[in-house]
Amino acid sequence: MRGAVIHAPGDVRFETLDDPKILKPTDAIIRTAVTCVCGSDLWPWRGLDAVDEPRPMGHEYVGFVEEVGRDVTGLRPGQFVVGSFATSDNSCPHCVNGFQSNCLHREFMSTCQAEYVRIPNAAGTLVTSDGVPDERFWPGLLANSDVMGTGWYAADAAEVRPGSTAVVVGDGAVGLCAVIAAKEMGAERIIAMSRHANRQKLALDFGATDIVTERGEEGVARIKELTGGIGADSVLECVGTAESMRQALHSTRPGGNVGFVGVPHDVAIDGQELFFSHVGLRGGPAPVRRYLPDLVERVLTGRIDPGKVFDLTLPLEQVADGYRAMNERRAVKALLKP
Amino acid sequence: MRGAVIHAPGDVRFETLDDPKILKPTDAIIRTAVTCVCGSDLWPWRGLDAVDEPRPMGHEYVGFVEEVGRDVTGLRPGQFVVGSFATSDNSCPHCVNGFQSNCLHREFMSTCQAEYVRIPNAAGTLVTSDGVPDERFWPGLLANSDVMGTGWYAADAAEVRPGSTAVVVGDGAVGLCAVIAAKEMGAERIIAMSRHANRQKLALDFGATDIVTERGEEGVARIKELTGGIGADSVLECVGTAESMRQALHSTRPGGNVGFVGVPHDVAIDGQELFFSHVGLRGGPAPVRRYLPDLVERVLTGRIDPGKVFDLTLPLEQVADGYRAMNERRAVKALLKP
């Protein structure tokens, strides 16, 4: 088969690779229907995460079951499936507690920009749909496997409630999906922080009520101004830098909550400042599996359309162009078709 | 009148002071029924917080209304009252959201180890009871004004739920009251971390089911052992050091919560570690006012008896002995009678 391999920063190639095989009896192999490039894939591409040796890329996927290991129950070849970027047995104590992305048997996906993919913990990870959904739903289902599930967790961790005010920090695909989540959870006011016209437009389309272009302490001041001097009930931090975290914490009212889903890079939180702020904080890799059945339903009924974050569609073999377009901000997110 | 004044580390004197006066129309003056020494009073006494000039001490109190300012509604001289260490108007947006200890008009109490005390924001701060409660309830009501309210907030912020497992880090008066709170909120298992026999006994008396004497990573390992390798649902951090915070975070299961109520001294939280832990975190000066009516009821019906944390009773004029006894751990908490 063929798939993407990163050799060095800026150097992603589409190559012939060994077909994936069942390695454990709990594995399945899927044939990729659609996959994509994630904002986090740009970290190694930009040289900000090390690339010590060539390795496959990609962790988002929907596809067709091709083969299942002998311990995989409830799945059969031909089924259309979607799963999370973090696999889970869906039965360990952490899974039962709803934190499948901390499953005792978790394996992070990392080879999905390819024609075929091995899925560990297949029975606990993959969610099926009745028959094969119309192809127009595939982008939305693909978004569920990471960015929509992650945006949903940001809103959940930030405890968005009906009638509340939510701020979304970050206008990447996750931030845009976080707007969808805040809207679905009933936030009355949704303030998206964005400086890019196309992303602002999508945020408004997804339910944002206000756009703030200021950043840092100016951004905080603007949020305070929009919330009667008090701060927002919920802030969804979808970036992961020290500045975005500070902005999130300072924009939240006492007793409010920050949900943070951008992987923190050089972020330290001062204990005393957090203490006196009364702000609640929860983050992490999103437990997408917890939300998947509900999100699949929302996509297939047309209630949400997170697939709109894909503003570039390429044949899988042009995967390198997808990285380039996203790196240069010519695209929010690139969808890849095998 | 007479009251306690700290002049330098280790030097608390009982002196003649000006009688407090109504300074704002929202003030009240109370005659102290009982007051006490707080663990946090030991910070300046030990020279760990600066003492730049002589100043009064104390922030816990129950008493009798002596005089009210012209804007104080609902209070009249002679009433028996209890209030929080943080005063609040109980009507600003933060108060309405239940975070009265972040009230826009907040003033922290700091002159309560005295015969008379001025209470700012009196109408919003003071909670009355029907008539004068029997004197045996006074210690419990006094505990409500800080340590019991703070322990309750620790349990609330850590989201203790019926049937859950709670760990209490810290065996001071707040930690012991946190055990009471966890018990009242229905925790099935309550693990108190303590090395002192008298405090262990009180923790067990208050509802702790297990005692852990190990600290640091050994303490964490013991908690993991007691929770099937998973960690606790809720951890109540009642100390405020870098070590106790680390211990709390590491003892919590993914998706669990830490409530932290010890004022952090030199505590920095690593963003990436917090991220991958999936632990939720909320702290702060407890919004005692939110809980006071309920806590007063629990004390007066005999349902809880946080007054047991007072294992030393002194005449107010011997206040300095109270500091010494607590500093030397001869007493958990010293009650002072004018």
pLDDT digits (tens, 9 = 90+) for B106-156: 999 999 999 999 999 999 999 998 899 999 999 999 999 999 999 999 999
Give the residue from chain B lying closest to A255, CA to CA.
Answer: B99
Residue numbers in A near B278 (CB within 8 A)? 99, 101-102, 282-284, 287
B189: which strand partners?
A: B165
Question: Are B177 and B306 contained in the same domain?
Answer: no
pLDDT digits (tens, 9 = 90+) for A109-140: 999 999 999 999 999 999 998 899 999 999 99
Query: Residue A25 belongs to a domain with what CATH number?
Result: 3.90.180.10
Examine the pLDDT at A144 and tell me if it is beyond 90.
yes
Question: Are A217 and A101 contained in the same domain?
Answer: no
Residue numbers in B near A97 (CB within 8 A)? 253-255
Question: Are B16 and B124 contained in the same domain?
Answer: yes
Say whether A289 sits in a helix, a strand or coil: helix
Supply the range of the domain harboring residue B56.
2-146+287-337
Q: Do A253 and B97 touch (CB under 8 A)?
A: yes
Question: Are A180 and A206 contained in the same domain?
Answer: yes
pLDDT tier for residue B89 given thresholds of 50, 70 and 90: very high
Question: Are A123 and A179 contained in the same domain?
Answer: no
Query: Residue A254 belongs to a domain with what CATH number?
Result: 3.40.50.720
Task: From A283, A307, A322, give the residue that closes a domain.
Answer: A283
pLDDT digits (tens, 9 = 90+) for A47-100: 988 999 999 999 999 999 999 999 999 999 999 999 999 999 999 999 999 999
Residues 6+ apart with CB under 8 A from A53: none
pLDDT of residue A49: 87
Q: What angle do CA B31, B33, B38 make, to 5 degrees?
A: 105
Place of tokens 């959870």: A185
Q: Please say whether the beta carbons of A112 and A61 come within 8 A.
A: yes
- CA A200, A201, A202, A205: dihedral to nearest 10 degrees? 120
Helix (H) or strand (E) holding A197: helix A197-206
Examine the pLDDT at B83 and tell me if it is beyond 90.
yes
- CA B78, B83, B85, B87: dihedral to nearest 10 degrees? -90
Give the residue from chain B lying closest to A260, CA to CA.
Answer: B275
Residue B125 burial (CB count, 10 A): 30
Examine the pLDDT at B273 and tell me if it is beyond 90.
yes
Residue numbers in B near A98 (CB within 8 A)? 255
Indicate which of A275, A277, A291 best probes the interface with B, i.e. most B CBs within 10 Å of its own CB.
Answer: A275
Residue of B245, B255, B280 with shortest CB distance to A97 = B255
Residue numbers in B near A224 (CB within 8 A)? none
ipTM: 0.96
Question: Are B111 and B176 contained in the same domain?
Answer: no
Residue of A255, A264, A267 with shortest CB distance to B97 = A255
Residue of B242, B265, B276 with shortest CB distance to A284 = B276
Question: Are B92 and B69 contained in the same domain?
Answer: yes
Residue numbers in A near B157 (CB within 8 A)? 280
Question: Are A204 and A230 contained in the same domain?
Answer: yes
Mean pLDDT over A163-181 rounds to 98
Residues 6+ apart with CB under 8 A from B23: B118
Task: From A257, A283, A309, give the residue that closes a domain.
Answer: A283
Task: From B283, B301, B328, give the residue that closes a domain.
Answer: B283
Q: What is the mean pLDDT of chain A?
A: 97
A168: which strand partners?
A: A192, A236
pLDDT digits (tens, 9 = 90+) for A272-301: 999 999 999 999 999 999 999 999 999 999
pLDDT digits (tens, 9 = 90+) for B9-18: 999 999 999 9
| Cα of B59 to nearest chain A Cα, Å | 18
State the total domains in chain B: 2
Mean pLDDT over A199-221 rounds to 97
Question: Are A197 and A105 contained in the same domain?
Answer: no
Q: Do B282 and A277 touch (CB under 8 A)?
A: no
Examine the pLDDT at B49 and tell me if it is beyond 90.
no
Question: Are B17 and B118 contained in the same domain?
Answer: yes
Question: Are A232 and A247 contained in the same domain?
Answer: yes
Mean pLDDT over B293-306 rounds to 98
Mean pLDDT over A150-167 rounds to 98
